[in-house]
């Protein structure tokens, strides 16, 4: 209300009306709770009314809320994987990059994955950015940082991503020192096999190479050097030409 009194008169009405409306909405809505069973519309209403909530997801109609993030098993791995994705994005026009971006995937699921790569619609991508700025539909690649194989990233989320035809799904299980990179083939996820050097290569994004042993050792320099090799291949050059 103090801000309303100090807002210039010419914009005071609209600003204060919106402030009071949002305050009323927040007061009348139940708080978002871990484990709630909600429709996507109700999930969005409650999430919007709780700006202090940093991350919440709706998976198969159930709310999952993030715990405090430790740098060792999430913060640093997340930064490393986003650096890797960011280098690919910088070298590949027609590709979009997201970090913790909400995806309106279907009526029961609205995940907020750690990272994603998507093709722009004009480049053949199946997702789009809607009028409210959200990703609508399935990106081509989703990346999650999971504590272990017991995480819902490898259970409930995997089923949702498979059902919505996310073409590739990468899960780094930090505590288990394991990376699974799934490729959608004939309606089911198959693990992509590494080459003799332990490098996994995307089937959807030519040149997107991941040196798994180096990643697990925390050697980001080698991870990026291996990616650079992928970016210099004729397959990536042809991909860039096609997207351009």
What is the distance between the alpha carbons of residues 37 and 21, in angstroms, rounded to a whole number?
A: 25
Pair of tokens at residue 188: 């089911």
Neighbours of 80 (CB within 10 A): 18
Residue 190 β-bridge partners:
183
Per-residue pLDDT of the chain (244 residues; tens, 9 = 90+): 444 444 454 444 444 434 434 444 445 778 888 888 888 999 899 888 887 777 889 988 888 887 778 899 999 999 999 999 999 999 999 999 999 999 999 999 999 999 999 999 999 999 999 999 999 999 999 999 998 777 889 999 999 999 999 999 999 999 999 999 999 999 999 999 999 999 999 999 999 999 999 999 999 999 999 999 999 999 999 999 998 7
What is the distance between the alpha carbons of residues 137 and 130, in angstroms, rounded to a whole number?
A: 10
pLDDT at 87: 98
Q: Order across the sheet with 128-129: list the strands.
A: 103-104, 135-136, 128-129
Residue 57 β-bridge partners:
64
pLDDT at 3: 45
């Amino acid at each position: 209300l103090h801000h309303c009194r100090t807002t210039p008169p010419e914009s005071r009405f609209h600003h204060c009306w919106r402030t009071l409306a949002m305050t009323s909405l927040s007061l009348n809505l139940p708080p978002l709770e871990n484990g709630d069973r909600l429709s996507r519309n109700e999930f969005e209403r409650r999430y919007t009314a709780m700006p202090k909530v940093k991350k919440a997801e709706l998976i198969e109609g159930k709310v999952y809320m993030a715990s405090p993030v430790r740098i060792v098993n999430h913060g640093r791995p997340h930064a490393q994987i986003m650096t890797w994705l960011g280098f690919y994005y910088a070298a590949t026009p027609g590709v979009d990059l997201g970090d913790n971006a909400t995806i309106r995937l279907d009526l029961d699921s609205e995940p907020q994955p750690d990272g994603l790569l998507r093709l722009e619609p004009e480049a053949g991508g199946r997702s789009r950015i809607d009028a409210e700025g959200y990703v609508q539909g399935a990106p081509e690649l989703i990346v999650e940082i999971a504590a272990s194989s017991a995480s819902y990233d490898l259970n409930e989320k995997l089923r949702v991503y498979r059902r919505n035809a996310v073409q590739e799904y990468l899960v780094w299980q930090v505590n288990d020192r394991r990376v699974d990179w799934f490729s959608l083939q004939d309606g089911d996820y198959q693990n992509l096999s590494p080459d003799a050097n332990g490098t996994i290569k995307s089937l959807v994004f030519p040149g997107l190479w991941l040196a798994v042993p180096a990643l697990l050792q925390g050697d980001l320099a080698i991870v990026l050097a291996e990616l650079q090799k992928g970016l210099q291949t004729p397959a990536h050059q042809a991909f860039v030409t096609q997207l351009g």
